[in-house]
Structure 1
Amino acid sequence: MNEQRLNQRALDNLPNEVIKPAYNRAAIATGIVHLGIGAFHRAHQAWFTEQRIAAGEHDWGIVGASLRSGGVRDQLAPQDGLYSVVEQSNGETKVQVVGAVRDVLVGPEDPQQLLAAMAQESVRIVSLTITEKGYCHDPASGNLNLQHPDIIHDLQNPQSPKSALGYIVGALALRKARGLPGFTVLSCDNLPSNGKLLGRVLAQYAEQVDRELAQWIADNTTTPATMVDRIVPATTDADRDAVEHRLGVRDEAAVITEPFAQWVVEDNFLHGRPDWDKAGAMFVDDVEIYELIKLRLLNGSHSLLAYSGYLAGCETVADVMAQPAFKKLVQYFMQQEVVPSIAVPPTFDIAAYQAQLIHRFENRALHHRTWQIAMDGSQKIPQRWLGTLRYQLKNSGPIEAISFALANWLRYVSTVDEQGNSIEVSDPLAQKLKMIWDTHKPAGNAALVTAFLGFAPVFGDDLQHSERLQKSITQWLEKLDAAGTLACAQQIHPEAVTLT
């Protein structure tokens, strides 16, 4: 390994084709604190912000924070916060070094330090990429889960919170006490109506702390909705080696992504914002329709490909798409089951969007692992699949592909694949899901499906009453048991137009 790390001193010696910060990083003020500084944030919101800082908007430096571990801090600290965004498509690579991140804090190591950072007068936006489970809510109802261990802890220990909600309310309490204004709280997670959800759970948490504070927060914060889209696989050691070969220095924090990036934002900010629209973002009055299109088409298709592809032995999404049966399946799913459930704006070319998704899924330069996408399914499925499913059930529409997807998810959470190998299921409800499988599978697939559809944290209270759905998933489980996932995918006869 090259002992030379990417850092401020190394910038001048990078290859000419590498885009790098040309501004004075020491003069950048902190305007944003971001909770959950993982690879996606670094390839998306921080990347957008970098374009505006480079254009002269020097009030929007980012302090990143991890609420779990010091891994990202340990990558970035020796590199002066610098990291590279590597855009890859078949045969082409573009590298940009991002300097927007001024510091990275680790909440569990020093909660007071993070609270103080969020309470700085210069901070006008606190943004979040903490995944669905980070909102400590009940996915079926959208309300705060007061029994969540982190919420219980934070209400008892407000000076050393664990949850994002605990940090946000704690920082706002400090600002109120100091006579400072509040800030905009910006969710950048894949959740339907993410701004409304964040506003609701934030208000519910604040009510538990102090009603007067809760009212002040209601008057001194906004929670705009956003829709984010960029495929960012987990960076591997092989990726880091390839980046080192290209840069001539080691970048432990490199992120690999695709050229495509989309950000739709509700323009509802309290005290200003970067001109992200000049970097390609879109400010709108109503994000929800764009969000719905993305959640149901991109994310819904991703989850379908992840569970079925993983069980069929495919490591990456591109591997799944290389199987003609899966490519036809996802085309059918989008065209026949998802699109009818969406009131597509007349100015939006939905066919072109689907074709673009197929092209992005087939990008072999991105090693987007099916296992990574399959994480936290109990939190994702209600948003990605069940809205489509409820629409089709209500309107007697097709449910073949979505029932196939659900059957594959049930097999996935059993923790054993088709070859008898163990699956490492990463999901906050993994133990409960496994218990349902182990308890009811011996009684047969019909009993198993009944038990799962009766699991309200995922399926709510209504889907268990659909005989059509129960029958469809049960039939797919029978076929999966007999023939396996790939053979079953070949049995679906898509009435779909090839998307190119």
Structure 2
Amino acid sequence: MAILNRQNLTAGFSSKISVQTPNPAVFDYPEKVLQFGTGVLLRGLCDFFIDKANRAGQFKGRVVVVKSTDRPGADAFTEQDGLFTHCIKGIEDGVAIEETVINASISRTITAATAWNEILACAASSDMQVIISNTTEVGIQYHANDPIDGGCPKSFPAKLLAFLYARWQHFNGTSESGMVIIPTELIINNGDVLKKIVLKLAADHQLPAAFVAWLQDANHFCNSLVDRIVPGTPDAATSAAICADLGYEDKNLIISEVYRLWAIQGGAKVREVLSFAKADAGVVIADDIEIYRELKLRLLNGTHTLMCGMSFLLGFRLVKDVMANGYLSKLVMNLMLSELALAIPYKMDLKVADRFGRSVLDRFRNPFINHKLIDITVQYTTKMRMRNIPLLVQYYQEFGKAPELFAMGFAAYLQFMHAVKEENGKYYGDANGELYPINCDYAAHFYEAWKDFDLKKVLADTSLWGADLSALHGFEAAVQKYI
């Protein structure tokens, strides 16, 4: 079977299903976006919007993708000339939707570790206007002593600083050369956090005051929120079945739900640069995006975090299968609507939260999406702290007692983090005789903690939670019931 690439696309494929192919003119569009990350969320949401706008002639720009490492399989992007198939399946306004699109937004991919100079060369392009990233929650962190000259920096903020400094030097600090920078990592005020780190790194490296002024005044660091369920790479059987219908092989194929939201905080200049927003109502550019962030972070992501460990340990592997189970489906609904929705730390009409929550439950039930529970557990502790602990604290402020279903989900999280095996620095838990990976930066911490487990000590560890959870009256007892 022929592989998806430009040459074979031109020759044509014999597909059994309708496939939207790109206009050849798209391949001549200039590179306007630098994207840090190759993940499915960036491709299934951000690159989706850019590709859709290009088809409508509204953005006319392509994406240069920066990979951090040469992981196995990463060469598929180069082999396929950046092309990938996006299968969109779900329910919208009560109507079943199935669309298949060949996305041509990516012009090329560059590996930062081995071709850093190529990335710096992009800084000298007057066409380049936008930087987007998704380096996970642990990607936007301050790392001291990360050099920005003489090679590729280690951290994403340092890479960004090196790029912007090279751009400032090339364009002599003109205001027109500033960039719109949109991190999509699930961090509160992600744009503000990233800007603060970049400015601190600039101070560490004693960069010129004129550059720092340009960094602050000419560049727009936008807080943003992304919301679309895009599961990881489909399993071999699913991919093979889809490719058989497509009539070609695609190693970068992705599947997503229909729902999409990219909320970006910005004003007139940001709207002008991000002209791709005109092509789809799913892109929202507004002065305040807090309500979108809170609803998504707390009700979708927060529910995911509390349900995934429990469901996995009970033998489930996919979100949709959990929702097909009558008991668990009701439990998840009650957790979301009767506990989490009542404790969102942002004043809003409860009807708004309830309506959004019920739409999320429909998305969880999407029969077309194989969203793996194990994928949701990646960086489990960080997610629990950032997504759920603020809800727990707020719930206590509102009601003064332990949220029962939250405590159950938290107990399951602790059980999931109980590693029974360590091998070459990797940790594994045991679910009914099946070993599973614990992909969390705190895996080693809990490996030691479980040798002589003390729940009160774990709850009191402010380095984990940013708060002393043992001080919350009744929470320890509520959690202990389920351990």
Q: TM-score, normalised by structure 2?
A: 0.88
Moved more, 234-243 or 306-315: 234-243
Deviation of residue 74 (structure 1)?
Answer: 1.0
Q: Which amino acid aligns with 1:466?
A: L
Matching residue within 206, 210, 215 for 1:210: 206
Q: Report the counterpart of residue 409 of structure 1 in structure 2.
A: 413
CA pair 58-421 structure 1, distance change in 2 beyond 3 A: closer
CA pair 363-49 structure 1, distance change in 2 beyond 3 A: same
CA distance in 1, matches of 2:278, 2:289: 14
Q: Report the counterpart of residue 174 of structure 1 in structure 2.
A: 166
Q: Which amino acid aligns with 2:39?
A: G
- Structure 2 residue matching 1:127: 3-state secondary structure: strand
Cα deviations by residue, 1:51-82 (Å, 9 ceiling, x for unpaired): 11111135421001111335564112121211
CA distance in 2, matches of 1:418, 1:17: 42
Structure number with higher strand proportion: 2
Q: Map 1:39-54 to 2 at 5 A.
A: 39-54=40-55
Answering whether residue 187 of structure 2 is matched by residue 191 of structure 1, we say yes
Q: Report the counterpart of residue 455 of structure 1 in structure 2.
A: 461
CA distance in 1, matches of 2:463, 2:100: 42
Deviation of residue 277 (structure 1)?
Answer: 3.9
Q: Which amino acid aligns with 1:276?
A: A
Moved more, 205-214 or 310-319: 205-214
Matching residue within 219, 224, 227 for 2:225: 227
Q: Report the counterpart of residue 96 of structure 1 in structure 2.
A: 101
CA distance in 1, matches of 2:470, 2:402: 18
Determine if contact 2:378/2:440 at 8 Å carries over to the other structure. Answer: yes
CA distance in 1, matches of 2:97, 2:148: 52
CA distance in 2, matches of 1:434, 1:407: 16
Deviation of residue 32 (structure 1)?
Answer: 0.5
- Structure 1 residue matching 2:259: 3-state secondary structure: coil
Determine if contact 2:295/2:356 at 8 Å carries over to the other structure. Answer: no
Determine if contact 1:62/1:101 at 8 Å carries over to the other structure. Answer: yes
Q: Report the counterpart of residue 328 of structure 2 in structure 1.
A: 326
Determine if contact 2:461/2:468 at 8 Å carries over to the other structure. Answer: no
Q: Report the counterpart of residue 246 of structure 1 in structure 2.
A: 245
Q: Percent identity?
A: 21
Q: Report the counterpart of residue 353 of structure 2 in structure 1.
A: 350
Answering whether residue 137 of structure 2 is matched by residue 113 of structure 1, we say no
CA distance in 2, matches of 1:295, 1:67: 26
Displacement over 6 Å in runs of 4+: none
Q: Which amino acid aligns with 2:179?
A: F
Answering whether residue 376 of structure 2 is matched by residue 373 of structure 1, we say yes
Matching residue within 357, 363, 370 for 1:360: 363
Q: Which amino acid aligns with 1:134?
A: G
CA pair 286-224 structure 1, distance change in 2 beyond 3 A: same
CA distance in 2, matches of 1:217, 1:53: 29
Unaligned runs of 5+ in 2: 420-428
CA pair 294-459 structure 1, distance change in 2 beyond 3 A: same
- Structure 1 residue matching 2:147: 3-state secondary structure: helix
Q: Report the counterpart of residue 259 of structure 1 in structure 2.
A: 258
Determine if contact 2:49/2:276 at 8 Å carries over to the other structure. Answer: no
Answering whether residue 435 of structure 2 is matched by residue 429 of structure 1, we say no
Q: Report the counterpart of residue 489 of structure 1 in structure 2.
A: none
CA distance in 1, matches of 2:62, 2:351: 34
CA pair 201-158 structure 1, distance change in 2 beyond 3 A: farther
Deviation of residue 348 (structure 1)?
Answer: 7.1
CA pair 77-371 structure 1, distance change in 2 beyond 3 A: same
- Structure 2 residue matching 1:472: 3-state secondary structure: helix
CA pair 122-329 structure 1, distance change in 2 beyond 3 A: same
Cα deviations by residue, 1:292-349 (Å, 9 ceiling, x for unpaired): 1100000011112211111111111112122222211111111121112234545973
CA distance in 2, matches of 1:69, 1:387: 37
Determine if contact 1:232/1:256 at 8 Å carries over to the other structure. Answer: yes
Q: TM-score, normalised by structure 1?
A: 0.85
- Structure 2 residue matching 1:102: 3-state secondary structure: strand
Moved more, 318-327 or 292-301: 318-327
Determine if contact 2:308/2:374 at 8 Å carries over to the other structure. Answer: yes
CA distance in 2, matches of 1:100, 1:198: 25
Moved more, 281-290 or 155-164: 155-164
Determine if contact 2:140/2:194 at 8 Å carries over to the other structure. Answer: yes
CA pair 169-297 structure 1, distance change in 2 beyond 3 A: same
CA distance in 1, matches of 2:287, 2:226: 16
Q: Which amino acid aligns with 1:189?
A: E
- Structure 2 residue matching 1:283: 3-state secondary structure: strand
CA distance in 2, matches of 1:323, 1:347: 27
Q: Which amino acid aligns with 1:84?
A: T
CA distance in 1, matches of 2:5, 2:406: 47
| Aligned-CA RMSD value | 2.2
Unaligned runs of 5+ in 1: 137-143, 442-447, 478-500
